[in-house]
Amino acid sequence: MHIPDDPGFYEKFYFTPGDMGFEPIQTSVGKLGVLICWDQWYPEAARLMALKGAEILIYPTAIGWFEDDSEDEKQRQLDAWIAVQRGHAVANGLPIITVNRVGFESDDSQVLKGTQFWGNSFVFGAQGTNVLITGASKGIGAEIAKELATYGLKVWINYRSKPEIADALKEQIETAGGTAAVIKGDVSVEADWSNIIKTIVEADGAISYLVNNAGITKDKLALRMSMDDFDDVINANLKSTFIGCRDALKAMSKKRFGSVVNISSIVGEMGNAGQTNYSASKGGVNSMTKSFAKEGAARGIRFNSVTPGFIRTDMTDELKDEVKEEYTRNIPLKRFGEAKDVADAVAFLLSDHSAYITGEILKVNGGLYV
């Protein structure tokens, strides 16, 4: 297939190797597909080379800015260019290496001073490499950790106490062929969050995904609820999620890539007697997720929430049969959810299958609240 040149430009012979019958080049690191074309033909060129079996795309570029451009304008152009490259990596499911020209080129027409080329080179992957899950030692958090490990991600298991439970989960993941690490920290404490992010970035070079799962309950009727009961739940559920989202946004911005999923609750949408503090914390998480989504979008970072309904856990297993039957009657799907139902929803929202979804509150409640 021939991609026509643009008659508005003087370069008349810019083709992609695919146009000229060239095939991806087999190397020790995989099949390389080299793209040589104008930017307007880049999407089609990348698609053609991917269809020919390329495993890595290489795109030499000559992108820069005018000397008179403001610093804000330069950053805006660079951010847009990075977002485009990342988009093509996602669209083709392949890593893309872009190597940009260096130096300065004067304008012979003297209309402008000339172009200063960025000289930056980037590697854009189709997906991330690691994930941090807070409160991951047991329950829904542990199920999320096990599920995400099956996608080839290195799973960082956060715990606050009882390291033996976190270590047991790590061993379980590694026995199944996955990669995991444990990291201690109270995520309601800002200094602990900073240390967690720093440790992960130093070890792996970046943090790709975050699941804010840690949380507590202190249920009482509002008339009997102390301020300590209220503050403790707000700090553990809402404050910790804010710090995590904020610090992850800072770290992920350096790569212009990332996805965050906050574990909220159906109670944050519909309320529940005896859970004023919990309802407030999870309702706040939902609203905050939407705000972070708007702030993170320009940097290529997505924020979404999952609101589980009644999920079968050790705690629900201890309920009396008549209580479980009463709850089940109110659920249209007539059953409690499983932790894996939540884990699958999280995996979807983190993945590139949801690349155009951000600011969403995904209900996992069997139809109990729609």
Q: Is 278 a catalytic residue?
A: yes
Cα dihedral 129/285/165/154 (nearest 10): 0
Q: Within 10 A of 198 (CB to CB), how many other CB atoms are there?
A: 12
Tokens at residue 78, please? 């660079």
Rounded CA separation 292/40 (Å): 32
Among candidate residues 298, 260, 265, the one with its CA nearest the CA of residue 281: 265
Q: What is the DSSP string of 308-348?
A: E-SB--HHHHTS-HHHHHHHHHTSTT-S-B-HHHHHHHHHH
Catalytic residue, from 278, 327, 356, 369: name it.
278
Query: Which residue's entry shows tokens 């976190």?
Result: 166
* β-sheet bridge partners, residue 243: none
Rounded CA separation 263/272 (Å): 17
* Backbone dihedral angles phi then psi of residue 311, each to the nearest 5 degrees: -110, 135
Among candidate residues 130, 122, 125, 129, the one with its CA nearest the CA of residue 89: 125
Among candidate residues 186, 211, 192, the one with its CA nearest the CA of residue 303: 211
Q: Do residues 165 and 138 make contact, with C-beta atoms less than 8 angstroms apart?
A: yes
Q: Is 96 helix (H, G, I), strand (E, B) or coil?
A: strand
Q: Which uninterrupted H or E stretch holds 65? A: strand 64-66
Rounded CA separation 23/31 (Å): 9
Pairing of strands 25-27, 30-34: antiparallel
With a CB cutoff of 8 Å and minimum separation 6, the contacts of 317 are none
Pairing of strands 114-117, 104-106: antiparallel
Residues marked active site are found at: 278
